[in-house]
């Protein structure tokens, strides 16, 4: 009888300890930038997000190649940049997300403004080579240590800054669509 009690107590203790070391293996949401998010077979990280000033030399480079008709902002609008890094830990190419949304707490939802492929900071998605990243090592975007990511560009209402946090949704390329979200530091 005593042996049986010791065995049951040992099993219960082992079960409890096993649960303590169990961490979440798939991360779908984060309360701040910098966390790794899993979408499909890839890991995404928002390196930095911020408002862009078209009059600033550095920020002008991020807007490079936008047609004049698209580049003009109306009163009450601003550019908002989200710089994203994507990792493929697999040995085979994996498709990266091409669909993003930015939402504020008042349910204003924004879609990205497409940047020309010629813009060295433009996030365009597509396949990520095995054991590789976006931006690729050695690229202009990866060499820029202040951003270390590719640009997903949004035109938003300046009033949305008062409706924080802004939430970035990363929508995966697979069907059914996989999704991860992160609250942005604004």
Report the 10 Å Cβ neighbour count for 104. Answer: 20
CATH-assigned architecture of domain 24-184: Sandwich (2.60)
Radius of gyration of the chain (CA): 21
Residue 44 CB burial class (10 angstroms; 0-12, 13-18, ≥19): buried
Q: Each residue of 76-89: pLDDT tens digit?
A: 999 999 999 999 99
**β-strands 94-96, 99-103: how paired?**
unpaired
Query: Can you give the pTM of this predicted structure?
Result: 0.86
| 3-state class (DSSP) for residue 92 | coil
Is the pLDDT score of 24 beyond 80? no
Token representation of residue 151: 């640009």
Q: Which of 73, 45, 19 is nearest to 152 (CA)?
A: 45
Taking the domains of the chain in order of start, what are their residue ranges?
A: 24-184
pLDDT band per the 50, 70, 90 thresholds, residue 174: confident
| 3-state class (DSSP) for residue 94 | strand
Q: Taking the alpha carbons of 111, 107, 169, 62 in that order, is the dihedral positive or negative?
A: positive
Bridge partner list, 54: none
* Residue 175: predicted pLDDT: 79
């Amino acid at each position: 009888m005593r042996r049986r009690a010791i065995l049951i107590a040992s099993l219960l203790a082992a079960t409890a300890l096993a649960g303590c070391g169990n961490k979440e293996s798939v991360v779908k949401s984060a309360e701040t930038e910098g966390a790794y998010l899993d979408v499909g077979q890839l890991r995404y990280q928002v390196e930095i997000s911020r408002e862009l000033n078209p009059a600033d030399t550095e920020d002008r480079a991020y807007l490079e190649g936008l047609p004049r008709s698209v580049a003009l902002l109306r009163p009450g609008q601003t550019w908002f940049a989200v710089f994203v890094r994507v990792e493929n830990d697999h040995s085979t190419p994996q498709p990266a997300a091409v669909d993003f949304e930015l939402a504020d707490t008042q349910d204003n939802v924004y879609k990205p403004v497409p940047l020309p492929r010629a813009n060295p900071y433009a996030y365009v998605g597509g396949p990520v080579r095995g054991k590789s990243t976006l931006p690729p090592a050695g690229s202009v975007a990866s060499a820029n240590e202040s951003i270390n990511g590719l640009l997903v560009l949004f035109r938003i209402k300046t009033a949305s800054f008062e409706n924080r946090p802004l939430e970035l949704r990363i929508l995966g390329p697979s069907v059914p669509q996989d999704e991860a979200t992160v609250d942005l530091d604004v």
